[in-house]
Each structure stands twice: as structure tokens, then as C-alpha cells.
Structure 1
């Protein structure tokens, strides 16, 4: 799933390639991806993108008073082409959800795609990004200047959930998903099952620092890469997520996994849980 660092990279790429381009045609190939109908996506045609920004995991391409907002969900992506076909794409069962073709002899532009059978990608055309429900509910951006230690401490005040779930909650902090929450907790040397309300002041400081450092390093790791390489490079920069059975790069212990119905987390027992393995949450609670 694209998370904050990947969406930030997409934002920077599109800001450098799409801003100032005349929009020739917009093709909504997968109608189920459209979450708004007024204004229609065709209202973007004949305009130029003025700015590309990010709200958590949401892409926001602004043209005048209109915003094309895209949430890539679990399996969505943006693919740039210097020469898109001039013929309209055919709706079907393929991954293509939306095509934006710019004017000009070459017809550059980008496709928004979604792999797999579960279709959760979402496309909006709105006059105010806050009209998108997911954006309206977002918590603070962890790379913003306002995400101070004091602000983070306030977010955790009274929070009785496990810290892994808190980090992934977009209404608490915008942009962190399954992969980077694993990475942050490893950097902070903290169990994913630790209750947020029981964090000491020192642990809160450590976790706040790990959030900023981990996300900043991930953004820098992907800077300047072609869009087609971003997913592969994301995995190369991860220390524990997706690395079950491999040695921890810090201590050498074997990275373990806890599976859930639709996802899994990875962690290092030595670095994070005092050497104690965590039980599979489908069967039992944390081993004591």
C-alpha cells in the first residue's frame, strides 16, 4: 500500500511533470472508482494543473478552483507516460482506472491503476479538498512543522489502544500505514502491542523521534527515482516489514511475524519485545 513517503514522491514527480500542462482528455475508465459526479471529471479538460499537494495518503492535483483528489488504497499506483495512445481506452477488467492525457504532439500524461480484484481506489473532483470525507477526518501530518513533541503527547493522552493501531489511525496521524508503523516501532525499540496510554515520557520522546526520522529517511531514499522504481525501492529501504525470517539488521535476531485476517506485522523480538515472541493474534494474546 502506498504510504506517506511514496505519495510524497508521487506528489513531487507530478508537480514537476504535470503542472502547467494543458489537459486534453480525462478518461474515467473504472466508473466504480469515481466517488463524486458533480463536477464531472471532464470538467478538468481544457485546464492546466496549477499545483500538486498531498494530504496524508491522498494526492491533490489543483486546477483553478477544482481539485482532482486520488486515494490509491492498497493496490493503486500512478504510471507516467511521455506518449499515451490517442485512442480512448476501453473499460474492462484490466487495472486501468483513470487516464489523464495532456495536449501536445506527444500526448504525455498519466494512468491511475489498481491491481488485484479488490477495488478500493477512489477518485474525487471537488472544489474543496475537505469535501472528501477521508481528508476532512485526517489527523496532523507527521512531517509538518506542527507535529511537535507536545502535539504528539497530546494525541496519545488517554489513548488506550495498542500503539501499532494508533500509528495507523489516519484520524490520529495522517499518512502512516502498516509498513511504516512496523519500521517506526522497530526504530523506537517498542512492541507493537504496547498500550499507548502506558508509554513513559522517555518512550514518547523516542517514538516521536522515530516517526520523524523514519519517514524523512524514506522520502529521501526515493527522491529522484522514476515512478516505476518506487515500489521496489520502498522494500529495499525497509528493515523489518515484509522481512519475516530474515536477520534483524540491528541485532541479528530472526524477524518474526504476527498474522491477522487481512494483514500482518513484522518485528524483532530482541529489539522490541525483550526477546519474547508475540503470539499469533488469531489464536491468542501476547505471550507472557
Structure 2
């Protein structure tokens, strides 16, 4: 026992003991599933048999029009979420961090609260809100404005709008907090010097705030790209399942679930998952290179 205690309390061993839980969880819940997915993507997995089929699953994906629709839907959703979930949270963060807003903690809590709400509950509520019946909240509003009623979740444009509303409602507060943390790292003396030099609020935002929160902006952009491509639960709850009219709400992960879980085709579903991983990695690596993340700092 004494030797074990000395071993655990050793300055050389202690760091490895502390990081061991992370390493074990990383190996079990990331490396092992990833390796299993790669192997299964080259197999045809049946109820009782498993057959090695090589690149057959990937060749099928190239001809799968439903999968192409899922990619286009996910790409549209991702691009539109970037349009809303980067500039607006940034502006909200600047506004809350300024002297113009009182009760800052209350505003932060109100904007962050949707992220704590279960996506099952929020998705169900938004499905009722965008119901095609005259009792749906959105149809009540449009009818009161003389615009009539709409089948919101049966048309591509309005269905995508409903998804964006759910997304912005849930994640605006989260991204805002990221930007607030970035703003806290900026030295206030820079703003004071700019104010003495006669800089306007817009000029301070343009030439001080935006450049100095670039690391935060890159981080938010990176996680937003992945979140947009990997979106599933919002669509699943909004249409009460993986199926939607003419696949207007089908995403890549939704198609993975549909083929891999619903139809029990794990080999094909694994191939879909790997394609999603490659797409997300390529897009993020490209944007990180363009943003100069991998450039060496000049001395």
C-alpha cells in the first residue's frame, strides 16, 4: 500500500492519473466508434451475417438521389445558420457588454434559457406553432394580418424557415456568451484611447472589437459549421420522425438514422456517417486555413 501511495503521489505519475479519465473516455467513445464505423462502412451487415463488400456502399451513395437531397438540405441549413448565428449573437454580445444595457445578468439568462430546454419539448411546441391547422399560432398571426393560413411544414421554403427559427431560438444565447467571453479579453484602454482620438462607436467596433475577437469568431464558425451539418433532433421533432413531405426536412444525420437504424442497414448508414465526417472536416480545415489559423506567428 505504501508503494502504491508513493507511486500515485509521484510528481511524474500524478499528471497521467488526472488525464487518464479523459483518455479512457476518448478511446471508448470516440476512437473505438470511429474505427468500428470505418470497418462497418465496407460491410453488408445483416441480422445474422456480415459480408465484406468493399466500396459497394460508397458507390451506392454516388447514385442515391435521396442522399444527395439530404446533403443539399444540410448545406442550405448550415449556410443560413451561419448568416444568423454569427453576426446577431456578436451584436447582442457587444450591446450587452456596453453601458447601454442594464440588468446584464437577466438578459444573459433569458437568452441562454432556450439552450437548457429539452429539444424534444421545444421541437414539439414549434411543431404545434407551425401547424397547418387554423389553431396553429403562426396561422393565427397570418390570418389576423389577412394573409390566410399556410401549410408551413409541407413546403420547402416555409419548412426551412421553421427549422431556422428553432435553431436561432435555441443557440443565439449560447453563441452570444462565447462572444461575451471574447469581449472580456479585450483591454478597455484600447477603447478609451480610441474615444480620446474621436473614434465613433462603429469605428471602435470595426477596428478594435472585430479584429480582437477573431479567435472567438473562428471558434464559433467552426462549431456552427459542424452543428449545421450534423443537425438531426430539431428536424426529427419538427416533423415527428425522420420522414417529411418530399424530404424537405431530411438531413444527412436524418438519412443515416433512416437507413442505419430504421431499415437496419448499418453498413450503408456507416458510409453515410463517414461521408458526413469528411465533409465537415474538409469545410472546417479550409475555413481554418483561410482564416490563418495554421500560420506561424511572426516574431
TM-score, length of structure 2 as denominator length: 0.22
**Higher helix fraction (1 or 2):** 2
Structure ID, larger Rg: 2
